[in-house]
Amino acid sequence: MKKIISTNAAPGAIGPYSQAVEANGMLFISGQIPIDPATGKVIEGDITAQTERVMKNIEAILKAAGYDFSNVVKSTCLLSDMADFAGMNAVYGQYYKNEPPARAAFAVKSLPLNVLVEIESIAVK
């Protein structure tokens, strides 16, 4: 059985998708971009500021579903420019100090709303 996860502490979906879906003890978090849920707008700033906002959005969704970062087993990081990898990685690493999840990181041609980073995650209880 699948359960749709939604929280006002993270940005609402800007398309036909859910913030997250839980099924069989697994949580699939849709790609999060640096939108401030309070304003509904993309935050200004460099890759570190944008990654921090993305990670806070992921944290809010994890919390709403009863998970935390220790439950994350896989992340996919999408960057608009691979030159931003080190900055993204520095912030990302602060959330996974012990037993980090598996991860892939890609540079893509463009991201929604011209943001610098988007991260999706899978968590397991």
Q: In tens digits, what is the pLDDT along the chain, a chain of 125 residues?
A: 899 999 999 999 888 999 999 999 999 999 999 999 999 999 999 999 999 999 999 999 999 999 999 999 999 999 999 999 999 999 999 999 999 999 999 999 999 999 999 999 999 99
Q: Tokens for 62, please give them.
A: 């994890």
Q: Which pLDDT score, from 0 to 100, does residue 15 have?
A: 87
Q: Residue 105 is encoded by which pair of tokens?
A: 């990181």
Closest among 125, 124, 112 to 17, alpha carbons compared: 112
Say what the pLDDT of residue 44 is.
Answer: 93
Q: Output the pLDDT for position 1.
A: 87
Determine the structural domain holding residue 32 and report its residue range. Answer: 2-124
In this prediction, residue 75 carries a pLDDT of: 98
* 88, amino acid identity: M
Q: What are the Cα distances from residue 61, in Å, to 72, 81, 107, 123?
A: 12, 26, 25, 11
Gap between the Cα atoms of 56 and 106, Å rounded? 21
pLDDT at 36: 97
Q: What pLDDT is stored for residue 14 in this prediction?
A: 80
CATH code at position 120: 3.30.1330.40
Give the chain's domain count. 1
Q: What is the DSSP string of 58-101?
A: HHHHHHHTT--GGGEEEEEEEES-GGGHHHHHHHHHHH-SSSPP
- Give the rounded distance of the alpha carbon of 28 from its chain centre: 10
Distances from the Cα of 34 to the Cαs of 10, 14, 20, in angstroms? 10, 13, 16
Tell me how far apart the alpha carbons of residues 31 and 95 are, in angstroms, rounded to a whole number: 17
